[in-house]
Amino acid sequence: MAFWILAVLAVASGIAVFVVDSMARATFALLASLIAVGATFLLIDLHYLGALIILMMIMEMLVMAVFMIMFMMNPAGLMPMSMLHNKTGAAVISAAVFALLVAGIFLTDWPDRKGAPPPDPTEALGMSIMGPKMLVMMVIGVAILATMISTVVLATRRGRYDA
């Protein structure tokens, strides 16, 4: 039941990204959609990836909101604006891609499972993606976070050296 609730929430807030009339509302609708996706990962016992998705998306959307407040001409991106461009072309491309994906689901000869799932799927996924370079990627993640924070600090009106 929780899966279906999260799926409906993810799709509905994903649609809201293109329906709402401001950048700020679209940002928080996208955040809600991605948090629902991260919670879905938590449901299937991929705790690390679920927490990572949720935390990364919260930070990313908040940084985006800060930049909107700082640099957009309208206050905080809250003034009405259209989020859609080339509506007909986008609808045709979206429908075609959706039809291809659905056809792929039903026409693919899915293989049978071989073996049992690993005892810790998060560790197995991390090792298959990054292997022994996991520590390097964790350090790079901290460096990226420090870069985001320093960018926001340096972009303020007062600057770094204000009294």
pTM: 0.57
pLDDT for residue 161? 62
Residues ≥6 apart with Cβ < 8 Å to 1: none
pLDDT for residue 73? 67
The mean pLDDT of 140-154, rounded to a whole number, is 85
**Residue 74 pLDDT level (bands cut at 50, 70, 90):** low
pLDDT for residue 82? 66
pLDDT for residue 124? 83
pLDDT for residue 86? 84
- Burial (0-12, 13-18, 19+ Cβ within 10 Å), 2: exposed
pLDDT for residue 83? 60
| Predicted confidence (pLDDT) per residue in 25-71, tens digit | 888 899 999 999 999 999 988 888 888 899 988 888 888 877 777 77
**Residue 3 pLDDT level (bands cut at 50, 70, 90):** very high
> If we measure between CA atoms, which residue out of 59, 61, 2, 65 comes closest to residue 36?
2
CA 105, 108, 112, 117 dihedral sign is: negative
**Residue 98 pLDDT level (bands cut at 50, 70, 90):** very high
Q: Under DSSP, is residue 63 helix (H, G, I), strand (E, B) or coil?
A: helix
Which conformational region is residue 117 in: left (phi greater than 0), alpha (psi within -120 to 50 degrees), or beta?
Answer: beta
pLDDT for residue 64? 82
